[in-house]
Structures are given as structure tokens and as C-alpha cells.
């Protein structure tokens, strides 16, 4: 037989667990709270972003999503040119710094000067460094310290967040 005391303990445990889960949700699910507090050169409402981006681009750039590994043709792209932000067309990476990381996402060892910004990302119970377009705040991917020389960095980018512009020949 259960006593009132047993039910009270169970109720308190369930309430405490619910409060703990709500507090931990910041660490499990990414939010736009951080990016929403910054001011960027290019700003649009959600409706305006949805008009100019595909649903997948919107999910990655504006909601901090991640595309499936191996889904972007830009991962295998070896052409000479520049990778731009799919949200605002800011030049982000040169093909000269691209390398094949084997991760399934386009990877670079260095961004162009004044192209990206970074901040700590504690989503999914991990601590990573998130990479944003410095002009529109769009989520591009993450940077890790397991890349090649000379920087030792791997900017692991979502291909859907990028547009490739080949170098003009002539």
C-alpha cells in the first residue's frame, strides 16, 4: 500500500524532473536566442527569409539546422572559385582553402578575412564553436581543431548554406 508521503515524494520528484528538463532544453535543442540579440548588417523578418531561401536553407541558416552528411554536391566540388553565404551573398571561403575532410560536409581550413564570426554552441549536450556569416548572422556550421596545416582548423560547413561562384576564365 502506498502512503500519502509516497505520493508526495513522487510528485516532488516528477516536478523537479520537469523543471530540470526545461532548464536543460537549452543544451539539447539549439535556439536563436543568442543570434537574436545581435545586430547584423543584413536583417530580415522570418517571412522575408522564407521568401528568399529554400526550406532547407531556411532550416540551416535561420534555425541552426544541419544538412545530412554527403547530401551537398559542394563537398566534392574541386573547381576554383569562391563560396558565398546563401543568405546574403557575402564571400566566405576561397576554394584555395577547401579540403576533403571525409566528414560529408564541405570543409575549409580558413575563411576569408572579415567573413565569419563564431560563438560557443552548447546544443545537443556538447560544446562546439558555431560559425555564422558575420553580415547576416546565418548559421553556417562549426569549426573544429582537427584540420590540416597551416591553421589546424576544420571549418565544417553546411553546403546548403553556401553558394559557389566559379572563378571567371578569360
Separation between Cα atoms, residue 165 and residue 31, nearest integer Å: 30
DSSP sequence for 109-128: S-PPTT-EEEEEE-GGG--E
Q: Pick the catalytic residue: 85, 88, 133, 156? A: 156
Whether 156 is catalytic? yes
Q: Under a CB-based contact definition with an 8 Å cutoff, are residues 135 and 41 in contact?
A: yes
Q: Under a CB-based contact definition with an 8 Å cutoff, are residues 105 and 141 in contact?
A: yes
Number of H helices, E strands in the chain: 4, 9
Catalytic residues: 156
Amino acid at each position: 500500500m502506498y502512503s500519502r508521503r509516497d505520493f508526495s515524494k513522487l510528485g516532488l520528484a516528477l516536478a523537479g524532473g520537469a523543471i530540470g528538463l526545461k532548464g536543460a532544453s537549452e543544451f539539447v535543442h539549439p535556439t536563436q536566442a543568442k543570434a537574436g540579440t545581435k545586430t547584423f548588417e543584413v536583417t530580415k523578418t522570418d517571412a522575408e527569409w522564407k521568401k528568399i531561401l529554400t526550406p532547407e536553407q531556411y532550416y540551416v541558416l535561420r534555425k541552426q539546422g544541419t544538412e545530412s552528411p554527403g547530401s551537398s554536391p559542394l563537398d566534392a566540388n574541386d573547381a576554383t572559385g569562391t563560396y558565398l553565404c546563401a543568405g546574403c551573398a557575402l564571400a566566405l571561403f576561397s576554394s584555395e582553402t577547401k579540403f576533403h575532410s571525409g566528414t560529408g560536409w564541405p570543409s575549409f581550413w580558413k575563411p576569408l578575412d572579415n567573413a565569419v564570426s563564431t560563438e560557443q554552441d552548447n546544443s545537443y549536450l556538447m560544446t562546439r564553436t558555431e560559425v555564422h556569416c558575420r553580415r547576416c548572422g546565418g548559421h553556417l556550421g562549426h569549426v573544429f581543431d582537427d584540420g590540416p596545416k597551416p591553421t589546424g582548423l576544420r571549418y565544417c560547413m553546411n553546403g546548403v548554406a553556401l553558394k559557389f561562384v566559379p572563378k571567371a576564365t578569360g
